[in-house]
Structure formats: C-alpha cells, structure tokens
Chain A
C-alpha cells in the first residue's frame, strides 16, 4: 500500500495518560502549600479526548521543595489513581531534569509534554490543582 495520501492511525491515535501538575511551589507566609493533581486522560495529538478520575496529594512544609520532594508528592498522587498509564508533565515541573531521570525516580513511565493534547491535559491538571489549593487556603484547612 502506498504511503502517499492519508495514513489513518491504529485505534484512532488515542493515548491513555496520567497528566500531573503541582500548584503552590512558591513560598507564602513562611510555608509552601503544594497541591499535586494527577488526572487520568485520553488524548489525541490535537485534543483531550476524555477526562477520567482525578487524585490529589497535598504537602504543607516550611522547607523549599527539592526534586526528591516533588517526585514523592507526584508519586503519591499518581499511585492513588491506580493506573499504569505514562505520566506526563511540563518540563519545569521536575526542574528541567532529563526525562529518563524523572522516569527512574518515579518508577513509572514518564514523558514531558509534546503534543497539543498532552499540553491541554496538563492544563486540566493545572486547573484542578489550583482550584484545590485555593479551596484549602480559603477554608484554612
């Protein structure tokens, strides 16, 4: 079959991923209130196809977060999803460390965002983490 013209993908090009984002990596009133959201998603290259379960992990600390702390927080949120899907995040989330280092630290498949769909999925996780953190701050939990 010729490669010219259209080349439809198997299974419609849908990927199952866990999108993660952390809100609150900055210091406020002497503490860091970090909320990590892990969101099960199905993405296409150009869109989020479906959003499934969301899980969160909260870290309230006076110490500036380091790579290992971020990895632990993300790991806890991801483990609650009970999914073996590849974790996807923005590059800054893990201090721009190479993806193979992050993958080793998390102990699960990992990649940085590439497609429009992945970036939008991390955007969903960002909104979720941001909203939960605001809720915690508003109610002083």
Chain B
C-alpha cells in the first residue's frame, strides 16, 4: 500500500508526531522513507547580504541536523531512509519532492514551526492537503 512515504519536517512538535506516524507505517509496510527539510527562502529571501547568508547557513545546518536525527530514528525502525534538504516555499517543495520520489503517502504535521495559534491547521499542511494528488496524512 505504501512503498514510499514522504515526511517533511521542520523540527516542530507536530512534525515530530508526523515522523512517528511515518515510521510506524514504514515499519509495518516495509516502506522507504524520504525525509525533507525545506529552508524557507520564500520567508527569508535568498541572501543578498552576507548576514542573511549566515542565517541561511544556520537554517541549513539545523535542517541537516534534523534530517540526520530522523535518519537515525528510522534506522531503529529498520526503515530504509533517504533525506533531502532544499530551498523554496515549503508546500511547493513538498509537492515537487512527492512527485520526484513518487510518494504513496505524504505524512505532515498539521501545523509547523511558524504557527503560534493552537487548534488550527497550518498553511503548509493545508496547501499540501488541498493541492496534492496523492494521499496525505495530517497528524
């Protein structure tokens, strides 16, 4: 049913919950897990100034650390994992990546990092659910 599961993460609590779901599913279905971290350059802009470049480097480092941690966790579940770090608008990059890896399921936290209000779905998750032509699990 699920050969390839895409799990985008930004390190937020809902994203971590999504990772739990993705790994539990991967364990049962023997799925390949593809983990994605997107540096939100739409929000921060591509660097024109050196200080912005430092911010992006920090975000990239943070993203890579999250992906490494996720790969380790996947290993504990015996799941085969690949990771991808990209720049762009998260929801667009998630859909593009889903096409690239031909994901059978996208597992996404219902709200991410930048979300401050409780109880409502985040804009990234909402756009992915709305626009994806594949199954999406919001957790």
Decide whether A and B are members of one complex.
no
B residues contacting A by CB (< 8 A) are none
A residues contacting B by CB (< 8 A) are none
